[in-house]
Amino acid sequence: MASSLARYKTDVWSDWCPGCGDFGIVAAMQKAFAELDLDPAQTVIVSGIGCSSKTPHFINANGVHTLHGRAIPFATGIKLANPSLTVIVNGGDGDLLGIGAGHFVAVGRRNIDITVILHNNQVYGLTKGQASPTLRRWEQVKSLPRPNIQDAVNPIALAIASGFTFVARGYALWVDHLKEIIKAAIKHRGTALVDVLQPCVTYNNLYTADFYKGRLYKLEEEPGWDPVVHENSIEEVEEKIARAWDKALEWGNRIPVGVFYVNPHVETFEDRIAKLNPLYSESPVARQPIAGEDGRPLVGVEEFKKIFGKYIVEVERK
Amino acid sequence: METSGQILTSALARRGYGVVSDREYYSNIVGRHSYVHMRVSARRIPLSLTYPVQLAGFLDAESVFTHVFDIGDGGWLIYDTGVSRTRITRIPSMEPQVRDRLLSAYREAGIGETVSDVVSYLEKERSVNIIGIDFKQVLDGLRKRYNLTLGQAQRFRSTIIFAAMAGLLGLDPDSVDYGIERRFAGRAKIVEMNKFLSSMIIEDVRREYGSPLKLSTPTIDARELIIATGNDIVGMGKVVGGLRFQSYYPITPAADESTFLEAHESLSVDGEALGNILVFQTEDEIAAIASAIGAGLAGARSATATSGPGFSLMVEALGWAGMNEAPVVITYYQRGGPSTGQPTRGSQSDLLFTLYASHGEFPRIVLASGDPEEAFYDAINAMNYAERYQLPVIHLLDKFLANSTFTVPLPSWDRIRIDRGKTLLEAPRGVFKRFDKSEPISPRPVLGSGAITWHAGDEHDEYGHITEDPVNRIEMYEKRMKKLEIADSEIPVEERARLYGGGKDFLLVGWGFVKGAALEALEVLRDRGLEGAYLHLRMFTPFPTRFVGEVLKGYDAGRVIAVEHNIMAQAARVVAQNTGFLVTRYILKYTGRPIYTMELVDAVERIIEGGVEKVVLRYGE
């Protein structure tokens, strides 16, 4: 059952530039939350640093606004301590793919059940428009004194290579389309990337709304497009990854948005932990009792002797 | 070598002796010189090491060459006669500086370049009793009996050493068998072969030499002894203290603690799980502290364990925890720095770093442990403080304590309490003022408690939303810092500093693993006519200013000596900063090796009786 959009709004004023793509992303998130009827108290939005990382303050759900590049590891700790929470990461391209790229790769390796929403505008907005890791070589947005001489990283390709099991791209100004992708990403069990193309109206004069208009096309409208791994055979996984990879490399006159790759069959990190430690799935570590009513530890002297028996020598004098 | 140490320690503990053994090793896996340095006591749990040793057992030529001057006159040496003709110039693993230094000492003492030259020097000039064993012959016998390959038989070289030592110490074969069974539990064949070989060696040694180093009857009052390293003890403390999330990135000498916790992830008692600890190996130390903070926000007692280079990476997130009043414990095992420094050697050079790490001002607690017992309780207290005062807690240890093995009596549970302060696992539904300014320490609903909260590294309002309002800035800044004053008023002084002894001839001021050597030095110096005291510092912020100031008032500046494993006398600077008392006498060691009692005693005498101001200690290879 859907709930009202108002449930997910705060009264904090958004200090983004008028026309910023971030507004579209927040609107899509709020709509997705409402349609999924997410409980704001059981939802946590974790962000890094930058314009986009202010997102949590504008959404009525738990918000953890962390450090530049570190949203993923903070989110990881939150999710692993209490897997019943819905955890979403918001960050910019500089945040997630520059300073935080190592964590981006690591979360894919683990397939932790979180959703990463990448605000991708090719610039560092809050520091006034430097080149981000998604700006291409020799491109020169207006605030750059000289063209960019570093190559771009491809977020879709990197996510696939890192092991993300849901990889998609949306467009900040197509709010309803983006909302559907975000809903699917949240519902997916495993690490999900939503790469959101987002015009920066102030610093990016190359990738503008005009640029995207007419170039973007929806993958789901392509005949025969099916990004989902159904049978989980090695051949099928390879084929789906190869097709997603081809689409990931498309840029220029035709730019795909939509879902590139989904593999629901890879066990999540949480499942892997529970396999080794069955109690984990029943009782999140964050919710387990550690002491009795009187404050005495759950592990008393007798429990201690049993747990650490092999470290204890009974003295036997002769 | 470690195996020998473990088996001897078990055998000795079984009979009620106290043991400490320091493990000295290079930053490599196989092939470089490593050794175990033990101290055994019948009357107490030893916490310090000293030279010379009374009994030395060596597996190879390099050890004989390296430790020739560490053996006391009239002591005992066990070595492999198979290496007699090896020359010191033919040991590729020996560092050139060590070889050159030894060679010049050899020349001075009139020692030649072969193992047999060294042995004969020890025998003739130092009246050391020599037990030469032809290892090859012994192992050949074992090979034939059990049909072993050459490589398999080589593994029993250490058996020869511990068995010969056990024989000289007069340990009964049952206790040695116990040690073997404990070490090789579940590996019946290895146990059998070890028992066979060791009983044979013990018998041979007894027959030929008797038990010249027979230990006196133990009087330590303990029915059970834990055998554990400092890393293990901290892990045990964390388990008792309710740790539920530990993150780490592999680093020496901290990683052993996390490996220990991983082995006890499921807190299973009689087949029933009391709970479980999630041990999470991260991609780097930044992720380690960030995920630990995240787990703490969600309500798990959380910690990370690291060493200097790892903590350097954690510094930014430390400030985030301070700003967001988030509980997290950083267990910090100091090693030699700066940079990679000396990864496997000890140091106390990171105290000032932990006190000031991260930009901006925020409250933190820094405490340091000096022995296994302190380490156990501190591990629990650190988590209590983190949640009670809602701040990062840095628990300092050093490699000496971390990697040494101790026999430790079972701790007392009377003092142990879990204090989660104002942590709310359940909270009213809806938006919650996480940073309610009406009190310095606000109620802390965890993520998932029912409350909706925000956190931000930016300065924030009571809800956790960003604000740059100057009035809010003052209130929030002061709210955070006020918590340190509250901690200062609440945490008992006994847990923050302690004075041992009351003699006025001198006052040693130290911290961490210095404690053991300092306490023993007090006794030795008393016998030699100097009556002193030791001020042991355990908490550096909030600093026990009044207590320390009072103690220092009782001494002339020339009689107060800082004893530390660094070059700056860092703790003495913290003392000066807080009390205004300037320490002007120093005993410092920064070789990476522990402070040994005999060199500390000598240094104190040189300062108090010889008028020297600073002594730099250098004993040990």
User: Is pLDDT of B621 > 90?
Assistant: no
B457 and A102 in contact by Cβ < 8 A? no
pLDDT at A2: 75
- Residue-wise pLDDT tens digits, B23-33: 999 988 888 99
HEC string of A37-56 equals CCCHHHEEEEECCCCHHHHH
- Residue matched to tokens 């106290």: B18
DSSP assignments along B231-268, one per residue: HHHHHHHHHHTT--EEEE---TTTHHHHHHHHHT-EEE
User: Is pLDDT of B485 > 70?
Assistant: yes
User: B190-199 contacts: CB < 8 A, separation 24 or more?
Assistant: B193/B142, B193/B146, B193/B156, B194/B156, B194/B159, B196/B142, B196/B145, B197/B138, B197/B142, B197/B156, B197/B159, B197/B160, B197/B163, B198/B159, B198/B162, B198/B163, B198/B166, B198/B173, B199/B163, B199/B173
User: Is pLDDT of B175 > 80?
Assistant: yes
pLDDT at B495: 96
B294 and A286 in contact by Cβ < 8 A? no
Partner residue facing B418 (CB), from A280, A283, A297: A297
Which two three-digit tokens encode residue B365? 């607690």
CATH 3.40.50.920 domain locations along chain B: 494-617
**Going along chain A, which residue ranges are E strands?**
43-47, 62-65, 86-92, 115-120, 123-124, 130-131, 166-171, 192-197, 216-218, 255-262, 312-314
Residues 24-53 of chain A with CB under 8 A from chain B are 40-42, 44, 46, 49
What number of other Cβ atoms are within 10 A of residue B557's Cβ?
11
Q: Which of A260, A264, A268 is nearest to A244 (CA)?
A: A260
Taking a C-beta distance cutoff of 8 angstroms, is the pair B276, B246 a contact? no
Asked if A296 reaches chain B (Cβ–Cβ under 8 Å), the answer is yes
pLDDT at A169: 98
Residue of B nearest to A53 (CA): B456
pLDDT at A168: 99
What number of other Cβ atoms are within 10 A of residue B148's Cβ?
17
Which overall architecture, per CATH, does domain B2-209 show? 3-Layer(aba) Sandwich (3.40)
- A35 alpha-carbon distance from chain centroid: 19
* Average pLDDT of the residues of chain B: 97
Partner residue facing B418 (CB), from A66, A295, A308: A295
CATH H-level, domain B227-409: superfamily: Thiamin diphosphate (ThDP)-binding fold, Pyr/PP domains (3.40.50.970)
Residues 6+ apart with CB under 8 A from B362: B319, B322, B323, B391, B480, B481
CATH 3.40.50.970 domain locations along chain B: 227-409
Taking a C-beta distance cutoff of 8 angstroms, is the pair B179, B11 a contact? yes
Domains detected in chain A: 5-271 (3.40.50.970)
Looking at chain B, the number of H-run helices and the number of E-run strands are 21, 28
* Eight-state DSSP code of residue A228: B
Asked if A281 reaches chain B (Cβ–Cβ under 8 Å), the answer is no
Exposure on the CB side of residue A28, measured as CA atoms within 13 A: 28
Percent of chain A with pLDDT over 70: 100
Partner residue facing A300 (CB), from B227, B268, B413: B413
Residues of A in contact with B270 (CB under 8 A): 306
Asked if A63 reaches chain B (Cβ–Cβ under 8 Å), the answer is yes
Collapse the DSSP code of B400 into the 3-class scheme (helix H, G, I; strand E, B; otherwise coil) and give the result.
helix
Taking a C-beta distance cutoff of 8 angstroms, is the pair B161, B133 a contact? no
- Residue-wise pLDDT tens digits, A244-296: 999 999 999 999 999 999 999 999 999 999 999 989 989 999 999 999 999 99
CA separation for the pair B591, B620 (Å, rounded): 8
CA separation for the pair B28, B32 (Å, rounded): 7
Residues of A in contact with B236 (CB under 8 A): 304, 308, 311
- Residue-wise pLDDT tens digits, B8-18: 999 999 999 99
Asked if B282 reaches chain A (Cβ–Cβ under 8 Å), the answer is yes
Torsion of CA B355, B358, B363, B364, to 10 degrees: -50
Q: What are the backbone dihedrals phi and psi of residue B102, each rounded to the nearest 5 degrees, phi first? A: -65, -45
Asked if B441 reaches chain A (Cβ–Cβ under 8 Å), the answer is no
CA separation for the pair A251, A249 (Å, rounded): 6
State the average pLDDT over residues B155-184: 96
Amino acid at B557: A
pLDDT at B221: 93
Residue of A nearest to B264 (CA): A307
DSSP assignments along B303-362, one per residue: EEEEEHHHHHHHHHHHHHHHHTT--EEEEEEEEE-STT-EEEEE----HHHHHH-SSS--
- In this prediction, residue A318 has a pLDDT band, given cuts at 50, 70 and 90, of confident
Asked if B313 reaches chain A (Cβ–Cβ under 8 Å), the answer is no
pLDDT at B2: 82
Residue of A nearest to B6 (CA): A311
User: Is pLDDT of A106 > 80?
Assistant: yes
- Residue-wise pLDDT tens digits, B487-509: 999 999 999 999 999 999 999 99
State the average pLDDT over residues B158-176: 96
- Residue-wise pLDDT tens digits, B218-270: 999 999 999 999 999 999 999 999 999 999 999 999 999 999 999 999 998 99
CA-based max dimension of chain B: 85
CATH 3.40.920.10 domain locations along chain B: 2-209
Region of B359 (left: φ > 0; alpha: ψ -120 to 50; beta: rest) is beta
Asked if A55 reaches chain B (Cβ–Cβ under 8 Å), the answer is no
- B469 alpha-carbon distance from chain centroid: 46
A286 and B419 in contact by Cβ < 8 A? no
A62 and B454 in contact by Cβ < 8 A? yes
- Residue-wise pLDDT tens digits, A138-179: 999 999 999 999 999 999 999 999 999 999 999 999 999 999
HEC string of B445-477 equals ECCCCCEECEEECCCECCCCCECCCHHHHHHHH
Residues of B in contact with A295 (CB under 8 A): 417-419
pLDDT at B3: 87
User: Is pLDDT of B217 > 80?
Assistant: yes
- Residue-wise pLDDT tens digits, A31-82: 999 999 999 999 999 999 999 999 999 999 999 999 999 999 999 999 999 9
Partner residue facing B417 (CB), from A54, A286, A296: A296
Q: What Rg do the C-alpha atoms of chain B give, in angstroms?
A: 26
- Residue-wise pLDDT tens digits, A182-227: 999 999 999 999 999 999 999 999 999 999 999 999 999 999 999 9
pLDDT at B241: 98
Torsion of CA B363, B482, B388, B247, to 10 degrees: -20
pLDDT at A1: 61
pLDDT at B13: 98
pLDDT at B394: 99
DSSP assignments along B559-596, one per residue: GEEEEESSSS-HHHHHHHHHH-PPP-EEEEE-SSSPPP
Shortest CA gap A107–chain B (Å): 9
A105 and B407 in contact by Cβ < 8 A? no
pLDDT at B148: 96
Q: What fold, for B494-617?
A: Rossmann fold (3.40.50)
